[in-house]
Amino acid sequence: AQKVTQAQTEISVVEKEDVTLDCVYETRDTTYYLFWYKQPPSGELVFLIRRNSFDEQNEISGRYSWNFQKSTSSFNFTITASQVVDSAVYFCALHFGNEKLTFGTGTRLTIIP
Amino acid sequence: EAQVTQNPRYLITVTGKKLTVTCSQNMNHEYMSWYRQDPGLGLRQIYYSMNVEVTDKGDVPEGYKVSRKEKRNFPLILESPSPNQTSLYFCASSSSPPAYGYTFGSGTRLTVV
């Protein structure tokens, strides 16, 4: 069975601080995909990134960066110089084979002005 | 514009009154799925469909029905809603099993009183 753990239920930081959201996954498959989604207060789910298990290069997109480490089964997400617009619930998710996309329970991030 | 359209966005109903939440996608995707989101539980899959006339249960199918008569539509049916089905529901589609990530609808917030 596959599983995604987001141990941080809620995080609050002051604007402009850096913040890292943790994601730990479990899967027996060697080929799998990891995702991050953002859910702003309006409720929709916004795709942020997809990473396959063979690509361990870290990714940077503007203020966002992702650290994928197979050795620790982690796929952490860092926001640099956080802004109020980053306030949202963030979900990490895992997929392999023909199985469903399995989500973590989410981390609610609040950026304090 | 490529999108998944869910209706209604908000619905309040009474226990036992049958309802249908519609979902339609315009991307010719084979794979569609329904999730429910509850606080502290993340998103859990209700039903999914690999193609027309092919549907299968997800993690929490009790109390729900689906049909896939056409490729673009995947309605979620609650024959006899109960208060424990109060939740935020998402429809999603993908061009393959979700290795490439889902496109999500905007969500339907259902309250059963």
Per-residue model confidence as pLDDT tens for chain B (113 residues): 889 999 999 999 999 999 999 999 999 999 999 999 999 899 999 999 988 999 999 999 999 999 999 999 999 999 999 999 999 999 999 887 666 778 999 999 999 99
d(CA B52, CA B75): 12
User: How big is chain A by its Cα radius of gyration, in Å?
Assistant: 14
Which of A9, A97, A100 lies nearest to residue B58, judging by beta carbons?
Answer: A100
d(CA A11, CA A21): 9
Q: Which residue of B has its CA nearest to A90?
A: B42
Query: B41 in contact with A at a CB cutoff of 8 Å?
Result: yes
- Tokens in use for A82? 């956080």
Looking at residue B97, what is its pLDDT? Answer: 64
Which of B48, B90, B100 lies nearest to residue A100, judging by beta carbons?
Answer: B48
Instruction: Determine the 3-state secondary structure of A86 from DSSP.
Output: helix
Looking at residue B26, what is its pLDDT? Answer: 95
Query: A29 in contact with B at a CB cutoff of 8 Å?
Result: no
Query: B45 in contact with A at a CB cutoff of 8 Å?
Result: yes
Catalogue the E-assigned strands of A1-113.
Answer: 3-5, 10-14, 19-21, 24-26, 33-39, 46-52, 59-61, 64-69, 74-79, 88-95, 102-103, 107-112
- Tokens in use for A8? 């941080």
- Tokens in use for A59? 């990714």
Query: A103 in contact with B at a CB cutoff of 8 Å?
Result: yes
User: Given an 8 Å threshold on Cβ–Cβ distance, is B97 in contact with A99?
Assistant: yes
Asked if the peptide bond before residue B61 counts as cis, ω within 30 degrees of 0, the response is: no
Q: CA angle, B10 as apex, B6 and B16 as ends, to 5°?
A: 100
- Which residues of chain A make contact with B45, given a CB cutoff of 8 A? 100-101
Query: A105 in contact with B at a CB cutoff of 8 Å?
Result: yes
Q: Which residue of B has its CA nearest to A38?
A: B104
d(CA A25, CA A72): 9
- Which residues of chain A make contact with B109, given a CB cutoff of 8 A? 43
pLDDT in tens, A75-92: 999 999 999 999 999 999
Substitution target in B30, B34, B43 with the highest count of A β-carbons within 10 Å is: B43
Instruction: Provide CB contacts within 8 A for B40, sequence distance 6+.
Output: A9, A105
